[in-house]
Amino acid sequence: MVELIVTVVLAGIIFAAMVPLFVNASKASGRDRVRNVAASAAQGRIDSIRLLSWSQLTDPSINTNLQSSTFAGGLFGSTYTPPGSNSVYAVQYSVTPVPSSGQANYVQVRVSVTTPSSSSPTYTTTMATIVLNPVDNQTRFPINKDIFLTRIRAQLNSKAAGKVMFLDRAQMAALEQERNLKRQGTVTASADPNVQEFKGGDYFLSGSLQGLSTRTAKGTSDYILYDFHLTDARTSVMVWEDSAEIKKQGLEDAAYR
């Protein structure tokens, strides 16, 4: 009987000691879910922004437009409420053309989502991306414009013997997320993650495709000019430019387009 009482007492003590652990684990799990929702909402906004046209992204009112719940078919807005939930997350946007004046070479995009005030403490997650100024296709032909920049980059990387380096800004959101995980101690780091090591660009490569079409009784001809240039990011000086031209001719337009 005594042993039974002792066993019951010990079980009660152990249970009482474990209750705070269960409560803390439940709270931590709840905070993790809220943070995951915030991260998912931020990434969703980033993906939607990348679908906007270049003219929309470089519009001086773009940051104001993104705060509107009616802009671009209601994909944006200053708040986010998950389906089936009453929790309201605050959303902030920052779209910055680079350079800030003249023709932009790319835009820096940041989306910050803050967890509801009911989830104490609140947490803000920020996603970022880079949207490049596409090659300007002024011809009448449907052309994969990025293939030209990819070709030039591949040639320079293979033949410049390390003298030219390209920044992988397309992966900026993933890189910043990985750096933040290292700073938080969630994953290991081979170097001090608090040191800012992301490199800035020294030059911008851009280009345009221009075309002139003529049609006569003898057939159709197209003159196409491919132009690419390299601009110094510090001085705005165009340090290099080259072009190539081709001419297409045919009796039937669809035969060679």
| SS3 sequence of 80-136 | ECCCCCCCCEEEEEEEEEECCCCCCCEEEEEEEEECCCCCCCCCEEEEEEEEECCCE
**Amino acid 251: pLDDT:** 66
Q: Of 128, 121, 125, give the one whose Cα is nearest residue 113.
A: 125
On whether both 113 and 189 belong to a single domain, the answer is: no
Are 124 and 164 in the same domain? no
Residues 24 and 88 in one domain: yes
Find the CATH number of the domain harbouring 149. 3.40.50
Chain center to CA of 160: 28
Q: Is the per-residue pLDDT at 64 higher than 90?
A: yes
Averaged confidence pLDDT in the chain:
76
Q: Do 114 and 233 fall within a single domain? A: no
Give 134's pLDDT tier (boundaries 50, 70, 90): low
> Which of 91, 116, 133 is the last residue in one of the domains?
133
Q: How would residue 255 be classed by pLDDT, with cut points 50, 70 and 90?
A: very low
**244 pLDDT more than 80:** yes
> How many whole angstroms separate alpha carbon 257 and alpha carbon 239?
34
What pLDDT was estimated at residue 120? Answer: 67
- pLDDT over 70 (residue 30): no
Are 127 and 10 in a shared domain? yes
Q: Which residue has the higher pLDDT, 87 or 117?
A: 87
Judgement on whether residues 79 and 177 belong to the same structural domain of the protein: no
Q: How confident is the model at residue 252 (pLDDT cuts 50, 70, 90)?
A: low
Q: Which of 77, 108, 133 is the last residue of a domain?
A: 133
121 prior amide bond cis, ω within 30? yes
Q: Please tell me whether residues 201 and 253 are part of one structural domain.
A: yes
pLDDT digit string (tens) for 99-111? Answer: 777 777 778 888 9
Range(s) of the domain holding residue 191: 135-257
User: Does residue 140 sit in the same domain as residue 128?
Assistant: no
The last residue of one of the domains, among 104, 133, 162, is 133
Overall domain count for the chain: 2
Same domain for 122 and 229:
no
Q: Please state which of the ranges 7-11, 98-102, 251-255 shows the lowest mean pLDDT.
A: 7-11
Q: What is the pLDDT of residues 217-227, one digit of tens each?
A: 777 788 888 88
**In which residue are the tokens 């495709």 written?**
209
pLDDT for residue 127 is more than 50: yes
- Give the pLDDT confidence score for residue 2 in this predicted structure: 47
Residue pair 179/128 in contact (Cβ under 8 Å)? The answer is no
* Residue with more model confidence, 227 or 135: 227
* Residue 72 predicted with pLDDT over 70: yes
Residues 87 and 187 occupy one common structural domain = no
205 lies in the same domain as 217: yes
* 209-235 mean pLDDT: 81
pTM of the predicted structure, to 2 decimals: 0.50
Same domain for 140 and 84, yes or no, is no
